[in-house]
Amino acid sequence: MAALTELGARTPVVPPLTARLRAAAADDAPGLPSTHFAEVVNDLADHAQVILYSQFWRVDAGRTDGISGTGLDWELDWTAPWEHLVEESRTWSLLEASEAPVGDTIFVAPTWMDRTDLYPER
């Protein structure tokens, strides 16, 4: 989806809190501060966004390294109604947030989608 966004074929939905946290992070930050992960999960779900997965990064002394997340392995039931997908992804993501690495140098980069990404208006 990032490629579609870069090509201008997709406009991502970025809810207010998520946008503020993104703007407050350093320009070279690989995501959002992990300390706000649960808030971001709720912000996205409250705006009917489905979280697909999240990646964790450590920024230390100018280096950015991927780090292991929680190891939770979850899959959404794509035959379910959109509202169910939103709540299912919220539940799994909040569980992930409760077990995620946290710290001043840890960032989370969630990947999410809007209903229009799955069902584009014709």
| Structural domain contains residue 67 | yes
Domain that holds residue 41: 15-118
| Structural domain contains residue 1 | no
CB–CB of 89/52 below 8 Å?
yes
What's the CA angle centered on 6, arms 50 and 35, to 5 degrees?
Answer: 45
| Structural domain contains residue 5 | no
Q: Would you give per-residue pLDDT tens digits along the chain (122 residues)?
A: 555 555 566 678 899 899 888 766 666 778 899 999 999 999 999 999 999 999 999 988 888 899 987 778 889 999 999 999 999 999 999 999 999 989 989 999 999 999 988 777 64
Question: Which domain CATH number covers 41?
Answer: 3.30.190
Nearest of 15, 88, 21, 17 to residue 47 by alpha carbon: 15
Nearest of 17, 49, 37 to residue 95 by alpha carbon: 37
Give the per-residue pLDDT at 122.
47
Report how many domains make up the chain: 1
Give the per-residue pLDDT at 57.
92
What are the two backbone dihedrals, phi and then psi, of residue 68, each rounded to the nearest 5 degrees?
A: -65, 140
Distance CA 110, CA 47 (A): 15
Q: What is the model's pTM?
A: 0.84
